Amino acid sequence: MRRQTALSLVVASAAMCVAATVCSGTPVAPMAGMHMSASAEPDAGPTRQAYTLNHAFLIELRAVPRPIPFEKYFTLEFVVYDGRHPTKALTDTHLKVTAGMRHGLKHGFAHGMQSTPRIRAKRGLFTVAGMYFHMAGPWTLRVDVERNGRKGTAYFTLPCCGQ
């Protein structure tokens, strides 16, 4: 009899969690000990900000499509800030963006994109058009910044195609 009561409580609790999620539209954290499959967890989404490795610049990914389209061209937008004064947007920088998949490599890319992005700068906003991910999975963007002879490199991770 006690087993049935315990099982009934677990089932009732799970039903209440599902009902709360459906009715409120807000995900409810699972109860301790309950297992959620990976597909039920929200994806982490793209990296939105990154300092260059030397902390000279802070780069913000201002606009990215969600989800990132598979085998379709898309556009990104970046803003570059002074690394010592991260609220000061810089308008006199040069930007270069390359993308690839690492497939476990610590350095470099196992392969890159099959397109060459075009970068347009306007008052400190960099629009990167011509991005094209031909494989599903995590892509890494390498963003190189140069300003008055000072250079820096930052990396962003973009999950492709609902992954």
pLDDT digits (tens, 9 = 90+) for 42-99: 445 678 999 999 999 999 999 999 899 999 999 999 999 999 999 999 999 999 999 9
Domain that holds residue 118: 49-160
Question: Are residues 64 and 125 located together in one domain of the fold?
Answer: yes
Listed residue (74, 57, 92) closest to 133, CA to CA: 74
Question: Are residues 83 and 101 located together in one domain of the fold?
Answer: yes
Question: Are residues 84 and 16 located together in one domain of the fold?
Answer: no
Question: Are residues 29 and 74 located together in one domain of the fold?
Answer: no
Q: Which run of H or E residues covers position 4?
A: helix 2-24
Q: How many distinct structural domains can be found in the chain?
A: 2
Q: What is the per-residue pLDDT for 104?
A: 84
Question: Are residues 132 and 67 located together in one domain of the fold?
Answer: yes
Question: Are residues 34 and 63 located together in one domain of the fold?
Answer: no
Looking at every residue in the chain, the average pLDDT score rounds to 78
Question: Are residues 71 and 25 located together in one domain of the fold?
Answer: no
Question: Are residues 53 and 86 located together in one domain of the fold?
Answer: yes
**Contact indicator for 124, 81 with CB cutoff of 8 Å:** no
- Tokens representing 15? 């039903």
99-118: average pLDDT: 90
Question: Are residues 74 and 146 located together in one domain of the fold?
Answer: yes
Question: Are residues 14 and 61 located together in one domain of the fold?
Answer: no
31-35, 45-49, 60-64, 151-155: lowest mean pLDDT where?
A: 31-35
**Contact indicator for 133, 71 with CB cutoff of 8 Å:** yes
**Contact indicator for 49, 58 with CB cutoff of 8 Å:** yes
66-75, 105-114, 119-128: lowest mean pLDDT where?
A: 105-114
Listed residue (84, 37, 28, 29) closest to 56, CA to CA: 84
124-136: average pLDDT: 96
Question: Are residues 25 and 59 located together in one domain of the fold?
Answer: no
Is the pTM higher than 0.75? The answer reads no
CATH number for the domain harbouring residue 94: 2.60.40.10
